Amino acid sequence: MRLATWNVNSIRTRVDRVLAFLERENIDALAMQEIKCRPDQFPVEPFRTAGYQLAIHGLNQWNGVAIASRIGLDDIDTSFPGQPGWAAKPGVEPVVEARALGATVGAASDATPVRLWSLYVPNGRELTHPHYTYKLDWLRILRQDVASWLEAEPDLPLALVGDWNVAPRDEDVWDMSVFEGATHVSAPEREAFAAFAEAGMHEVTRERVANYTYWDYQKLRFPRNEGMRIDFVYASPALASRVTGAAIDRDERKGKGASDHVPVIIEVD
């Protein structure tokens, strides 16, 4: 089973690149983030023609998550329990944004099914911004849910994949001095990321592949390789023991119409 995650930064803009990637890399299930559309706007037919089922969760032109699978797609959830909402303005009712989508993939194959979550963690914006508190709350509640899931079902093959908007280590950014006083590298964010390991999850890509996963469009960041590693795969013990390989497809950042993120792939026995 080959699973992948990719912040596509608008599926309608990059559908051809995504489909080419699926075919080239023989991907069984892809978790997407920042699809930036509602389900009725998603380019469904090209995926169906290629043999993929879709689960789509998008509320407007922002955020949005989806899963494409050719090995079955069941038990879809468009949020995790207690997922906090975001109020765009003071006095406005918080909205649970389209940032999390869970589905079971693999039932239509010979492999043991995997509970796959496509996650687009809030950015945080600035350390003093309410969005930063929202980000930490979002991660804290997800971590609590994960701990309860694993307690109830220790053998659950669970994958939390996506754009975490956290660079957990100094080497995950090209120059730490550039990020002084900024989000993504702050101690509370890194502690929130590490808490998933404390809950029993294993980040399964770092030990197998080294590279950045994101390069800003501005200031020639990609040609200068001034990137960040913020896209990860956390796996439960039952799944981590089956992971046999991982890759970061850096070449997907090249050429016309590239997303600012690249796909991260894992191979599951």
The binding site consists of: 7, 34, 163, 165, 260-261
Whether the CB-CB separation of 122 and 165 falls below 8 Å is answered with yes
- Alpha-carbon distance 26 to 1, whole Å? 9
In this structure, which amino acid lies at residue 185?
Answer: V
2 DSSP β-pair partners = 267
184 is an active site residue: no
52 is an active site residue: no
Annotated binding site for Mg(2+): 7, 34, 163, 165, 260-261
Helices 187-198 + 130-152 axis angle, to 10: 10
Both structure tokens of 153: 């079902």
Q: Looking at 120, 132, 134, 212, which residue is catalytic?
A: 120
In this structure, which amino acid lies at residue 264?
Answer: V
Question: What's the gap between Cα 233 and its chain centre?
Answer: 8
- Alpha-carbon distance 265 to 244, whole Å? 11
Which residues of 8-99 form beta strands (DSSP E)? 29-33, 53-57, 65-69, 74-77
Instruction: Map residue 239 onto helix, strand or coil.
Output: helix
Question: What's the gap between Cα 225 and its chain centre?
Answer: 22
261 is an active site residue: yes
Q: Output b/e per residue, 150-186; b: 16+ Cβ within 10 A.
A: beeeeeebbbbbbbbbbbbeeebbbeeeebeeebbbb
Catalytic residues: 120, 163, 261
